[in-house]
Chains A and B, each alone.
Chain A
């Protein structure tokens, strides 16, 4: 990580958006209404987009707002409204005390494991010079540093992604089709 002293403005906003993200996520898992939960999750995703921008990933921040908060969550809200969820019989869906206890223990164990993992030291030789990505963004703009590797080094993966999306679209249509109409033909 950059070893120079970061401006207080930057650190304050990073913590602010991080805390908003965590608080919204906590609210999200405790809301009973699916619509309220979805909107809190959108709030988490917006805060994450702000954190991406603070971490010199401007393009990813924009894509986060467009694709995650804008497209994926709208699809979720569409489905919630289509299935007419959120009325009284569907509202209480929390599992019993045993499940909650198990989930708490699993969560604590997972948190401990992940924190232990963050203590692993990566070889210093792999680190870029200080502010390398920020300088790259300043020199080439926000998109070129991502577009370069995407269309050169990872071109095959990029093309395979298009096949994946085609398969997902076809799969969604097949699954969403009514069975009666399939028999009718």
Chain B
């Protein structure tokens, strides 16, 4: 099932990238990043079936990093919302050149 898993993983990752590029809602962009992490996890699990269980350990670490990232990222979004009253990314342009 390795080839099929890699196919589904590639499609899911691409959907995540397209979502990041086409949406302006910060929370949805953030969820698209989570989707990309999930797509990579599928690749790890598929390779772990063929090349050894260490890949599953790596998925464990990826999930931990995703949890930490979600906590900090959502705190940043809440702080931004308090400051600008919006989560629309086109209104958050302080660092735009």
Point out residues on A near B: beta carbons under 8 Å.
Answer: 1-2, 6, 11, 14-15, 18, 21-22, 25-26, 28-29, 34, 37-38, 41, 44-45, 48, 51-52, 54-57, 59-60, 63-64, 67-68, 71-72, 75-76, 79-80, 82-83, 85, 90, 93-95, 99-100, 102-104, 106-107, 110-111, 114-115, 118, 122, 126-128, 132-133, 136, 145-146, 148-150, 153-154, 157, 161, 164-165, 167-169, 171-173, 175-176, 178
Label chain B's interface by main secondary structure.
Answer: helix
A34 touches B8 (CB 8 A): no
Q: Once the chains are docked, how many angstroms separate the CA of A34 from the CA of B4?
A: 30
- Shortest distance between the CB of B53 and any CB in chain A (Å): 5
Please, which residues of chain A bring their CB within 8 A of the CB of B88? 90, 93
Binding site for A on B (CB under 8 A): 1-8, 10-19, 21-25, 27-28, 30-32, 34-35, 38, 41-42, 45-46, 48-54, 56-57, 59-61, 63-72, 74-79, 81-82, 86-88
